Amino acid sequence: MALGLLWVSGPWPPASADADATVVEEILEILREKEHISAAQYQALRERAQQEATLQAEQAAVAIRAENLAASASEPPPGALQAFWKNGLRFTSADKAFDVKVGGRIQNDWAVLAPDDDLQDAFANRAGIGTGTEFRRARIQISGSIYERVGFKFQYDFANSEVGFRDLFIDLLDLPAVGRLRIGHFKEPLSLEQVTSDVHVTFMERSLLDALVPGRETGFMLQNDAFEQRLTWALGAFRDTASDSGNGFSSDPLYSLTGRVTGLPWFEDGGRKLLHLGLAFSQRFRDENTVRFSSRPEAHLAPNLVNTGNFVTDAVRIVNAELALVHGPFSLQGEYNRLFADGSGESVGDPAFDALYVQASYFLTGEHRPYKASEGAFDRLIPRRNFDREGGLGAFEVAARFSRIDLDSEGVSGGTLNDGTLGINWYLNPNVRFSFNYVLGRLEGVGWTNQAQSRFQVDF
């Protein structure tokens, strides 16, 4: 009798309420036939069992609906953006169709410049003696991709109280055979040092070779990689705008074709050991327009010490060779650049200018220079341990560089400058870096200059 009553009054599985009620009715019928319960008890227990089965079925349905609502709330709609930090503020949709990054950089430089008396006399006391500070770069940018197939970037610089954009382009991504088509204002693909971002180069300023390297222009560029990113290539056509606005219009055909190829014949341990080779070429049509090449002694607060002045040319051709070696914490990098100009005037023939640099660096804390194979360039350093209260020191790098530029040729007397640079970098974390550089420069046949400078940098 007790077992029967417990069976009758116990919980009934809601998923099979009708079947359980039939079993209960059979049990109650048996109990009534054996006269263990009266007809009145049979009817009362039968109604109670039906009520409890109905209630539990309703409660189970409510619980299932609540679970479904919770599940749908935890899974955002495909187009909803989720915010997170990855070396910058990122917004990414659940379906990965939209990806937006908000970033920027601050570079505050301080310098002491001390040219010798001979250099001061030659430049009429305008060789840059003194001390000072500047915000070398103060930029903000937004970049990302839309529907996975279209990329974009716009970057504005507010340094020196002048607002102007740097990168401003649209990418068509994952195109068959050609990979990516970029349209807008961006760097021409020439020189390892140039295509590596200024926040990731080893020294505060790029080498003297950079004076012969084109920077940003407005144009079109195809870019792709092959053999598991062991080979990269880029080819672009550009319009000379000579302005941070990226705009240019004239009757002169001021166009350029620039291409670059890089290879990784050796790549191990995720880039901890690698050998990079690169070659680039640029044909620049000028049609009897003026050009000029000049360079500071690798300190932006210093004046130009070598300068060709303006001269007329029909065309300029640039050939640039690259080499870089990474072996654990040690790295070696160098480039050679040869520029040929087709003179168009009685006083100038066909001048050719040279520039080169070689540099070495070593991480005292064991890191290695990170390499972005898809771009054929160096990338952001991630310290093994950030600078923190628990005793983390960040990463320390020491470096040395020699560079040279010769702007004397065929009626052009721009001068020849040699620089030796010693540097140390302290990476507090992936986004903060302090640097110190000492530069000893010699303008051949004139004199020497000494420059001590430091940079405090935040980028994300």
Phi-psi region of 411 (alpha: psi -120 to 50; beta: other; left: phi over 0): left
Judged against a pLDDT cut of 70, whether residue 19 lies above it is answered with no
Separation of first and last alpha carbons in the chain: 77
The predicted pLDDT at position 74 comes to 59
Domain end, chosen from 74, 93, 123, is at 74
Does pLDDT of 1 surpass 50?
no
Here the tokens at position 386 are 């950030």
| Same domain for 163 and 24 | no
Looking at the chain, the whole-number percentage of residues with pLDDT higher than 70 is: 92
Say if residue 12's pLDDT is above 50. Answer: no
**Residues 88 and 204 both lie in one domain:** yes
Whether the per-residue pLDDT at 14 is higher than 60: the answer is no
**Lowest mean pLDDT segment, chosen from 6-10, 86-90, 225-229:** 6-10
Query: Which of 59, 74, 89 corresponds to the end of one domain?
Result: 74
Residues 70 and 118 in one domain: no
Q: Do 159 and 259 have their domain in common? A: yes
Q: At 182, which CATH number?
A: 2.40.160.10
Q: Residue 390's domain spans which residues?
A: 81-459
Both 214 and 316 in a single domain?
A: yes
Asked whether residue 57 falls in the same domain as residue 171, the answer is no
Element (H, E) at 365: none
- The answer to whether residues 48 and 188 belong to one domain is no
**Same domain (yes/no): 65, 191:** no
**Residues 435-451, mean pLDDT to the nearest whole number:** 97
Residue type, 131: T
Query: Position of tokens 């160096």?
Result: 378
Nearest to 435 by CA among 115, 108, 193, 139: 108
What is the rounded CA–CA span in Å between residue 254 and residue 240? 5
pLDDT of residue 383: 97
Query: Are residues 285 and 415 both part of a single domain?
Result: yes
Residues 330, 427 share a domain: yes
Residues 318 and 265 in one domain: yes
Which tokens go with 248?
A: 């240019």
Report the alpha-carbon angle 110-116-117, nearest 5. 130
317/3: higher pLDDT:
317
Residue 124 in this model has a pLDDT that exceeds 60: yes
Residue 448, SS3? strand
At 382-439, the pLDDT tens digits run 999 999 999 899 999 999 999 999 999 988 999 999 999 999 999 999 999 999 999 9
| pTM tops 0.85 | no
More confident site: 45 or 188: 188
pLDDT of residue 72: 61
Tokens of 217: 């222009």
- Whether the predicted pLDDT of 3 surpasses 90: no
Quick one: pLDDT at residue 6? 39
Higher pLDDT among residues 211 and 241, named by residue: 211
Q: Which of 47, 74, 101 is the last residue of a domain?
A: 74
C-beta separation of 419 from 208 below 8 A: yes
Counting the structural domains of the chain, the total is 2
pLDDT at 265 over 70: yes
- Residue 177 has what DSSP assignment? T
Does residue 125 carry a pLDDT above 50? yes
Same-domain check for residues 90 and 62: no
| pLDDT at res. 68 | 74
